[in-house]
Amino acid sequence: MNRFDAAGEATVHRTPVLIVGGSLVGLSTSLFLGRHGVPHTLVERHTGTSIHPRGRGNNVRTMELFRGAGVAQPIEEAASVLARNNGILQTPSLVGDVGEWLFKEIDPGGGVARFSPAGWCLCSQNDLEPVLLERAAELGGDLRFGTELMSFEQDAEGVTAQVKSRATGEHTTIRADYLVAADGPRSPVREQLGIGQNGPGDLFHNVSITFVSRGLVDVVGDRHFIVCYLTNPEADGALLPVDNRERWVFHAPWHPEHGETLEEFTDERCAEHIRRAVGVPDLDVEITGRAPWHAAERIAERYAHGRVFLVGDAAHEMPPTGAFGSNTGIQDAHNLAWKLAAVLGDWAGPRLLASYDAERRPVAEATSARASARSVEHSHPGYTPGPGAGGPKGKKGGILNEVLGYRYPQGAVLGTDRTQPVVSDGLRLTGEPGSRAPHMWLNRAGTRISSLDLYERSLVLLSSEDGAGGWHTAATGVGRESAVPLDAYRIGEGPDAELAPENDMDWAEAHGVTTDGAVLVRPDGFVAWRSEGASADPGAALRQALTAILGRD
């Protein structure tokens, strides 16, 4: 039942943002909104975070975002048990020295350090979510687990939702300015909005089996893989370490399209399948759990309807190979959070929110196609691709382009080339509008920082220390008169510079401008606009850019 006030009226809980779903992407949304100081309420029907080890691959871009949000270190600590795991092995058996490494190192030669201050991190969802939950709560998030969304309706001014406590049955009315749906691939919110999906649909099905085996570590030996694809045609599957000692996960093919049921995956069948796949008939195997999952490629036809936005699996589904799905969802949340903060803070117009769909949906379309191709390249157990899937001859390729090199040809950006693909063939982070701003090491008041550390809660204008272009003075004035959070930094070696580049690096060249130019970077680290050289009226140029980017009338 609803709570009532002294006058007998049902009380209404008011919040700027209501998040539906408290898994990985929902908690990330809460974290990012909290970093912006946006009050919000999250409801999640389950009573706690994930207990199943899954979704372990956090890519470089995601770790950049967690670094900016101040949680990279506790995440790395939670992930320490898998810190030495690298590479993907494909083999018919773990007995003997057979098979091939699809790749042996995530970052061979440490090449990612040229592009980012962060690295890859293997942290399973059941270890990652508690870190996000704790920090989101510290930032003031109203996180209500064991609470289910029953219904919602929206009008021109906001969204009214009915939620229910699963423990007490009590109903509560929540009135929010905006609703963010992070409620998974079968999203009831998306269904109610009537938003359809595009794409091939279901690709294959697996059963994720957790088990304990104390003898398997001796069979694995020094092959500290992220995942091992076992290709015995009579017992194929994917083996993943959980603690590198005795806890493991095995993904077994499941074929419901042939009438196979989950009930057929008994403990005895699962244990025997694992023994045959590994190649050790008497291996000790104790089954501790099983959960079905479905690999699919689907993208929502639109990511927003009125004041409701879709993030994560509610917006897109893609195969798990490459861990693209969870990372894309976290990056959805980061993109949306600063825009909600800007609109709610009255320093951007509502039109800014339309850029969420314009920017993120094309990224998901490109990324999901790459994830499906990756499944072909890795011959993922249970997946029988159609003709031509995976590209020419199923060629194996890297994924750094998709991870760091995607761009927004249109959206809250100016000066982009809209004919360019969302993901290009080469990784070029050269300060082009619509791309993630380049990483370079800087000295700020005696502290070494990455240029990416400058971007999170405000727009940032970079210019040269000599002030020849007049950009720093213009930005200071524009920020003061417009109430837009705009930080301006001069880069150089002289006394007026706030930032000094390491190793004589030319910041202007790295960002594609001259020393008289300037670069405007959004709170999410993407270049919004740049002036390659001086302007006759830098203040007017900057005002015009901000008006267009932020949807200010």
Helix (H) or strand (E) holding 287: strand 286-300
The 10 Å Cβ neighbour count of residue 262 is 12
Ramachandran region of residue 388, left (φ > 0), alpha (ψ -120 to 50) or beta?
Answer: left
- Confidence (pLDDT) at 53: 77
130: domain range? 12-198+297-354
Residue scoring higher pLDDT (138 or 370): 138
Per-residue pLDDT tens digits for 79-98: 999 988 988 999 999 998 88
Task: Say whether both 191 and 308 belong to one domain.
Answer: yes
With respect to residue 389, please indicate whether it lies within any of the assigned structural domains: no
**pLDDT over threshold 60, residue 314:** yes
Between 22-26, 216-220, 422-426, the lowest mean confidence (pLDDT) is in 422-426
172-196 as b/e: b if 16+ CB within 10 A: bebebbbbbbbbbbebbbbeebebe
The 10 Å Cβ neighbour count of residue 426 is 6
With respect to residue 3, please indicate whether it lies within any of the assigned structural domains: no
With respect to residue 24, please indicate whether it lies within any of the assigned structural domains: yes
Taking residues 401-423, report their average pLDDT.
94
Taking residues 286-303, report their average pLDDT.
93
With respect to residue 273, please indicate whether it lies within any of the assigned structural domains: no
Closest by CA to 358, choosing from 294, 405, 309, is 309
**pLDDT over threshold 60, residue 6:** no
Domain-terminating residue out of 286, 320, 354: 354
**Structural domain count, the chain:** 2
Which CATH number covers residue 175?
A: 3.50.50.60
Task: Say whether both 462 and 319 belong to one domain.
Answer: no
Cβ pair 61, 120 in contact under 8 A: no
Domain-terminating residue out of 337, 354, 371: 354
- Distance between CA 140 and CA 325 in Å, rounded? 27
Structure tokens at 169: 């049955």
Task: Say whether both 343 and 449 belong to one domain.
Answer: no
Taking residues 115-144, report their average pLDDT.
95
Per-residue pLDDT tens digits for 431-477: 999 999 999 999 999 999 999 999 999 999 999 998 778 999 999 99
Domain-terminating residue out of 354, 371, 396: 354
Residue with tokens 């008497």: 282
- Distance between CA 475 and CA 470 in Å, rounded? 9
With respect to residue 176, please indicate whether it lies within any of the assigned structural domains: yes
**pLDDT over threshold 70, residue 393:** no
**pLDDT over threshold 80, residue 7:** no
Closest by CA to 83, choosing from 320, 244, 251, is 244
With respect to residue 431, please indicate whether it lies within any of the assigned structural domains: no
- Confidence (pLDDT) at 209: 96
How much of the chain exceeds pLDDT 90, in percent?
79
The 10 Å Cβ neighbour count of residue 133 is 21
Structure tokens at 416: 């982009």
Task: Say whether both 192 and 336 belong to one domain.
Answer: yes
Rounded to the nearest angstrom, the gap between the alpha carbon of residue 28 and the centroid of all alpha carbons in its chain is: 8
- Confidence (pLDDT) at 2: 52
Q: Is the dihedral of CA 273, 276, 279, 282 positive or negative?
A: positive
With respect to residue 243, please indicate whether it lies within any of the assigned structural domains: no
Q: Across the chain, what does the average pLDDT equal?
A: 92
With respect to residue 224, please indicate whether it lies within any of the assigned structural domains: no
Task: Say whether both 329 and 460 belong to one domain.
Answer: no
Which CATH number covers residue 468?
A: 3.40.30.120
- For 482, phi then psi, to 5°, come to -100, -15
Task: Say whether both 182 and 304 belong to one domain.
Answer: yes
- Confidence (pLDDT) at 4: 46
Rounded to the nearest angstrom, the gap between the alpha carbon of residue 522 and the centroid of all alpha carbons in its chain is: 17
Closest by CA to 176, choosing from 159, 191, 163, 193, is 159
- Confidence (pLDDT) at 391: 45
Q: What band does 171 get if pLDDT is binned at 50, 70 and 90?
A: very high
Task: Say whether both 483 and 335 belong to one domain.
Answer: no
Q: Taking the chain, what is the end-to-end CA distance rounded to the nearest angstrom?
A: 44
Exposed/middle/buried for 101, CB within 10 Å: 0-12, 13-18, 19+? middle
DSSP secondary structure string, 156-224? SS-EEEEEEETTT--EEEEEEEEEEE---TT-HHHHHHT--EEEEEEEEEEEEEEEE-SSHHHHHTT--
Per-residue pLDDT tens digits for 470-491: 999 999 999 999 889 999 999 9
CA distance readout (Å), 332 to 33, 65, 382: 12, 11, 29
Taking residues 322-335, report their average pLDDT.
92
- Confidence (pLDDT) at 105: 84
